[in-house]
């Protein structure tokens, strides 16, 4: 089912019309996702930037033999001080289901809205370790018929520890949720509903001021019944989403690798590779993110 891009335009217009007088400090080279990503951390910045509105837009995608999945994620946030902020966002999804040669089914495409989300983030930096705790709640506003939502309220509480050791920036993420979240570099081509614990251990390596690489391992540990919905069913048809239910469906472990380039503090690009050890699946990913608030301030200052 095709969907209009009007909601995205309205969100971006609302972002641009707000008095973006300050922003969340730019994240250190890590993932490409926007501020609501629970796995991201922030780096110290001048005190004058610790309060005010911020806005981000990211475009992330993943592809494998069954098709491709792209996520456009505009978000808006407000920082009360250096340690506490809130955010909202509404993703838009594009799905390409590859042709099924055996069944004679042609490739097809679909687009739709994801779940509106909101939440808060607590950031506590120190000389020993930087701690970030993020609570994200998703409302069931997405297109269930197209496989972009499970139709349930989603909750994810993620906690992240990170510290820089010269060129290395190792991190550890542990979270409790009722849905499987994206990893540092991987945008998942499905939505799930069911209680899980998610873990990720990785590091970034800052090769130069603007170029970095990274790698991580991830584990998804479900408990109880799991429901998985995806617009990609591998048959070339997106008319009906693939839906399965059962215990341990989302149990998985694997690893990610990525390389990124930041031409400026306002723009970040990234490419990555992910391997699901559990399901023996190779996935390739890309990401582009924009710090809209910073871009606007730079434009107004000239």
pLDDT per residue as tens, the chain (302 positions): 334 443 433 334 443 343 333 333 333 333 333 333 333 433 333 334 568 899 999 999 999 988 899 999 999 999 999 999 999 999 999 999 876 545 556 677 889 999 999 999 999 999 999 999 999 999 999 988 888 999 999 999 999 999 999 899 999 999 999 999 998 788 999 999 999 999 999 999 999 999 999 999 999 999 999 999 988 865 444 445 678 888 888 999 999 999 999 999 899 999 999 999 999 999 999 999 999 977 777 666 66
For tokens 């694997």, what's the residue? 254
> Is-contact 1 143, C-beta < 8 A?
yes
> Is-contact 210 263, C-beta < 8 A?
yes
What is the reported pLDDT for 174? 98
Pairing of strands 252-264, 84-89: unpaired
**Structure tokens of 72?**
């456009």
Q: Which CATH class is domain 6-301?
A: mainly beta
Contacts (Cβ under 8 Å, ≥6 apart) of 155: 135, 136, 137, 138, 177, 178, 179
Query: Taking Cα atoms as reference points, which of 102, 64, 88 lies closest to residue 274?
Result: 64
β-partners of residue 165 are: 168
Outline where the chain has alpha helix (H): 6-17, 292-301
Q: pTM here?
A: 0.78
**Structure tokens of 75?**
């978000």
Query: Taking Cα atoms as reference points, which of 78, 31, 43, 14 lies closest to residue 215?
Result: 31
For tokens 């910045």, what's the residue? 45
Sign of CA dihedral 239, 92, 33, 220: negative
């Amino acid at each position: 089912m095709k969907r209009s891009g009007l909601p995205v335009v309205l969100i971006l217009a609302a972002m641009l019309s707000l008095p973006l007088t300050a922003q969340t400090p730019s994240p250190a080279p890590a993932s490409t996702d926007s501020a609501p990503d629970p796995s991201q951390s922030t780096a110290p910045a001048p005190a004058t930037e610790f309060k005010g509105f911020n806005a981000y837009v990211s475009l992330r995608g993943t592809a494998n033999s069954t098709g491709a999945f792209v996520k456009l994620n505009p978000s808006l946030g407000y920082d009360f001080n250096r340690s506490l902020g809130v955010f909202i966002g509404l993703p838009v999804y594009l799905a390409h289901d590859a042709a099924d040669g055996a069944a004679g089914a042609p490739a097809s495409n679909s687009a739709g809205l994801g779940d509106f989300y909101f939440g808060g983030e607590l950031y506590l930096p120190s000389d020993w370790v930087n701690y970030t705790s993020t609570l994200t709640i998703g409302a069931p506003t997405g297109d269930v018929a197209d496989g972009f939502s499970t139709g349930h309220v989603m909750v994810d509480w993620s906690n992240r520890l990170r510290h820089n050791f010269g060129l290395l920036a190792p991190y550890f993420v542990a979270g409790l949720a009722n849905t499987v979240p994206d990893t540092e570099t991987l945008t998942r081509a499905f939505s799930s509903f069911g209680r899980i614990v998610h873990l990720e251990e990785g590091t970034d390596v800052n090769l130069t001021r603007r170029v970095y690489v990274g790698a991580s391992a991830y584990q998804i540990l479900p408990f109880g019944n799991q429901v998985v919905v995806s617009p990609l069913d591998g048959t070339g048809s997106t008319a009906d989403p693939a839906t399965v239910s059962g215990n341990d469906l989302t149990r998985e472990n694997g690893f990610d690798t990525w390389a990124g380039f930041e031409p400026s503090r306002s723009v970040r690009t990234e490419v990555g590779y992910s391997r699901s050890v559990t399901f023996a699946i190779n996935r390739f990913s890309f990401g582009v993110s924009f710090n809209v608030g910073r871009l606007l301030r730079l434009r107004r200052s000239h």
